[in-house]
């Protein structure tokens, strides 16, 4: 029911309008007393809202005493709304394509940048974009804490393109060991470190050109700082750190 209410809200309904409309769908037809009882909305208010739904063209008045309200065939009632949504979708696609074109033209080759991200879904898409841009190598220091299917799929595609992916990290329990094997399974070269080398951080490097760093609270993984950087000195520093752990790690067999 909540999902239907949310969809109706997206179509411009108020909460009361959505509740009364859905009640009428199931009741087929009803007077305001019945609608009020079904929805918990006060009867006078229910009548006012029902009249607004009549104006929207989604319900109809059925003559009689008392006055009854019934639902208009949804395929007819919502046809205009769906057409409007399709137009908005096409317009949105057009505007986003224009924005993308402008964005690409404004990017300067080799331009340095350090940016922080707080939205994990956006961050994942940026990391997938980086994986697609890799030409030779991706190096990852992992906590082996979780395995994100989308990011693993992105790495697997990079490997199939001939990109070498090296992953190193501390294994401190059975879960982290299984996650390390998940990297190996898709074709990564994996080395493991002893539990004492575990730190609450993750970083990845793309072709010694750019990288991603995430530092999180050990007590609350939702409290984290994440950044993507394109900076030669930073990348070199993290590559040296990666090489240190890579030499120290043992190959996962």
CATH number of 114-251: 3.30.870.10
Q: Looking at the domain 2-72, which fold is it?
A: Arc Repressor Mutant, subunit A (1.10.10)
CB atoms closer than 10 angstroms to residue 40: 9
Question: What is the pLDDT confidence band of residue 106, given thresholds at 50, 70 and 90?
Answer: low
The answer on pLDDT for 38 being more than 70 is yes
Question: What is the pLDDT confidence band of residue 109, given thresholds at 50, 70 and 90?
Answer: very low
Question: What is the pLDDT confidence band of residue 136, given thresholds at 50, 70 and 90?
Answer: very high
Closest CA to 131 of 152, 104, 108: 152
pTM of the model: 0.61
pLDDT of residue 221: 66
3-state SS track over 102-146: HHHHHCCCCCCEEEEECCHHHHHHHHHHHHHHCCCEEEEECCCCC
Between CA 235 and CA 215 the distance in angstroms is 16
Question: What is the pLDDT confidence band of residue 10, given thresholds at 50, 70 and 90?
Answer: confident
% of the chain residues with pLDDT over 90: 50
Q: Contact, 30 vs 37, CB < 8 A?
A: no
Between CA 198 and CA 144 the distance in angstroms is 10
Q: Which of 26-40, 80-94, 236-250 has the lowest mean pLDDT?
A: 80-94
| Most distant pair of Cα atoms in the chain: their distance | 86
Task: Locate 169 and state its tokens.
Answer: 């990290």
The answer on pLDDT for 78 being more than 80 is yes
- The residue-averaged pLDDT of 52-56 equals 92
- The residue-averaged pLDDT of 182-187 equals 94
The whole-chain average pLDDT of the chain stands at 88
% of the chain residues with pLDDT over 70: 94
DSSP run (H or E) holding 70:
strand 68-71
The answer on pLDDT for 33 being more than 50 is yes
Q: Contact, 228 vs 131, CB < 8 A?
A: no
The answer on pLDDT for 88 being more than 50 is yes
Buried b (16+ CB within 10 A) or exposed e, 109-142: eeeeeeeebeeeeebeeebbebbeebeeebbbbb
- For the chain, give every domain's residue range: 2-72, 114-251
* Segment of 99-103, 116-120, 205-209 carrying the highest mean pLDDT: 205-209
Task: Locate 218 and state its tokens.
Answer: 């050990």
138-164: pLDDT as tens digits: 999 998 988 889 899 999 999 999 999
- The residue-averaged pLDDT of 31-57 equals 93
């Amino acid at each position: 029911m909540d999902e239907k209410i949310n969809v109706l809200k997206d179509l411009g309904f108020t909460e009361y309008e959505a509740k009364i409309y859905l009640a009428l769908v199931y009741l087929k037809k009803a007077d305001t007393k019945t609608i009020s009882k079904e929805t918990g909305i006060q009867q006078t208010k229910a009548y006012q809202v029902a009249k607004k739904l009549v104006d929207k063209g989604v319900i109809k008045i059925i003559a009689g005493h008392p006055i009854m309200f019934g639902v208009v065939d949804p395929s007819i009632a919502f046809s205009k709304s769906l057409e409007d949504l399709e137009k908005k979708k096409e317009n949105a696609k057009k505007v986003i394509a224009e924005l993308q074109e402008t964005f690409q033209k404004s990017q300067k080759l080799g331009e340095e940048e350090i940016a922080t991200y707080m939205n994990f879904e956006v961050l994942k898409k940026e990391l997938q974009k980086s994986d697609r841009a890799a030409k030779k190598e991706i190096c990852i220091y992992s906590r082996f804490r979780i395995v994100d299917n989308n990011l693993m799929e992105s790495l697997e595609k990079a490997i199939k393109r001939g990109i070498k992916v090296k992953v190193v990290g501390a294994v401190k329990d059975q879960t982290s060991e299984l996650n390390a094997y998940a990297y190996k399974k898709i074709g990564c070269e994996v080395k493991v470190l002893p539990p004492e080398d575990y730190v609450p951080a993750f970083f990845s490097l793309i072709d010694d050109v750019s990288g991603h760093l995430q530092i999180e609270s050990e007590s609350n993984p939702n409290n984290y700082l994440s950044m993507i950087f394109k900076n030669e000195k930073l990348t070199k520093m993290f590559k040296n750190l990666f090489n240190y752990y890579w030499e120290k790690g043992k190959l996962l067999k």
